[in-house]
Amino acid sequence: MKFDAKSYRITEDGRVGQVALIIGIIGLVLTATGYFVDKAQFYHSYLTAFFFWLSIALGGLFFTMLHHLVGAKWSVVLRRLAENIMICIPLLAIFLIPVLFGIGELFHWSHPEVVAQDHLLQLKAPYLNVAFFIIRAVFYFVIWVLLARYLLRLSLAQDGGHTESISKRMRVASAPSMILFALTITFASFDWLMSLDAHWYSTIFGVYVFSGSLLAMLAFLMRIVLYLDGVGTLRGIITREHWHDLGKLIFAFIVFWGYMAFSQYFLIWYGNIPEETVWFLHRWEHDWQYISLLIVFGHFVIPFFVLFPYSTKRSRPVMLVMTIWILAMHWVDLYWIILPNLHREAVKFSWIDFAPMLGIGGIFIRFFWSRVRVTPLVPVGDPGLEESKRLVSH
């Protein structure tokens, strides 16, 4: 790969885009095959993969807004990568469509005959009905797409030449957008994940999903950074000091996720109300307990101790393994949330679970990479760029 350090552009890339596109197309063909093999399995697997990639893109949006909001300096060199992740949101809006077609297979509250015999669902019907569900889904995406496009447009305008007003507009937009983001991701996770088990509710669920999402995005970002470093791009621009800070942020979000996961479990365990405990009960019988334990150890305990020391966060091989591990665990976490809705009686992995991961993932990375190719890899107009390059992490 050739990199021009003056314009911060990749002038000649390897085959990332092509390989991703081929994997994506193969994955999508397999996914489509899966639809004809087993419809219910297809929709559940598809929702898992869709939310997995969406959560990474949303993490990019959050990272960018947070960067503007707090006036961060260390992460200036990472900002463009995060922006290119967030601009994948419009792509994922297209991938939402199959989920909307799958409402009948996914959500039992969408069947009038079920609701007719279920008092609780009747009470929830003003919120949980197909029309309002679709309106909300479109609404969330409109907000996310508008925010992502607005922030990226300002950022690209800044590349042409910095003015104080651009920085200010990004900062001013980020503050209220943060509130909008918190609300939309909360309700999106209520709609698409929590309402799979429509009787069950957990008010912390949105934060739980958000914490896992941002963790996955940080791991994805770190993986991209390591890749770019490995092929000799951005040397001396994104340095080991940035890896270290990113590693610390990943560590922090491992702890935050663990805190949220336990808080959700703990209150439900303590309260011991059947309506609430049933959700965890489904995940503690018929072999689902092994997946639960895998999440406890794989999503929290192991990464916590691995990323605890100073040296591991600065180590290339360790971070290569850990970023992939964390992304895998994020998928397991979503699988654990979604799939008991279908396979309550046993854990049944299917090839259809993996096809949409490759399909959406391949297209996602292809799209992300095409954005990386056409923009400078760092926000060249940002006045904090030089300072960010000289970061020293302790």
Partner 1 sequence: MNNAIVKKTQAVLAEFDSPTALLKTAETLRDAGYKKFDCHSPFAIHGMDRAMGLKRSPLGWMVGLAAVVGTSSALALQWWTSTIDYPLVISGKPFFSFQAYVPVTFALGVLLSAATALIGMLALNGLPRFHHPVFYSDRFSRASDDGFFVSVESDDKMFNVEQTRTLLQQCGGKNIEILEGE
In the complex, which residues of this chain contact partner 1 (CB under 8 A)?
262, 265-266, 269-270, 272, 308, 310, 390, 392, 394
Q: Measured from the CB of residue 136, what is the shortest distance to partner 1 in angstroms?
A: 34
| Cα separations in angstroms, 3 against 155, 158, 242 | 21, 21, 19
Nearer to partner 1, 39 or 390 (CB): 390
H helix intervals, 341-380: 351-374
Residue number, 119 or 394, with CB nearest to partner 1 = 394
| Cβ contact 338:196 at 8 Å | yes
- Smallest gap from residue 145 Cβ to partner 1 (A): 39
CB 341 within 8 A of CB 196: yes
What's the closest the beta carbon of residue 107 comes to partner 1, in angstroms? 31
Query: If you ran DSSP here, which 8-state letter would residue 377 be given?
Result: S
Angle, helices 316-338 vs 39-70, to 10°: value is 130
Cα(213)–Cα(272) distance, integer angstroms? 28
Which residue lies nearer to partner 1 by CB, 76 or 81? 76
Looking at the Cβ atoms of 269 and 290, the one nearer to partner 1 is 269
The residue among 338, 61, 28 whose CA lies nearest residue 178 is 61
Least separation in angstroms between residue 75's CB and partner 1 is: 17
Report the alpha-carbon distance of residue 212 to residue 48 in Å, rounded. Answer: 13
Amino acid, res. 127 = Y
Supply 156's token pair.
């690209």
For the bound state, the minimum distance from the C-beta of residue 308 to partner 1, rounded and expressed in Å, comes to 8
Tell me how far, at minimum, the Cβ of 72 lies from partner 1, in Å: 17
Cβ proximity to partner 1, 153 vs 390, nearer residue: 390
Q: Which is nearer to partner 1, 95 or 265 (CB)?
A: 265
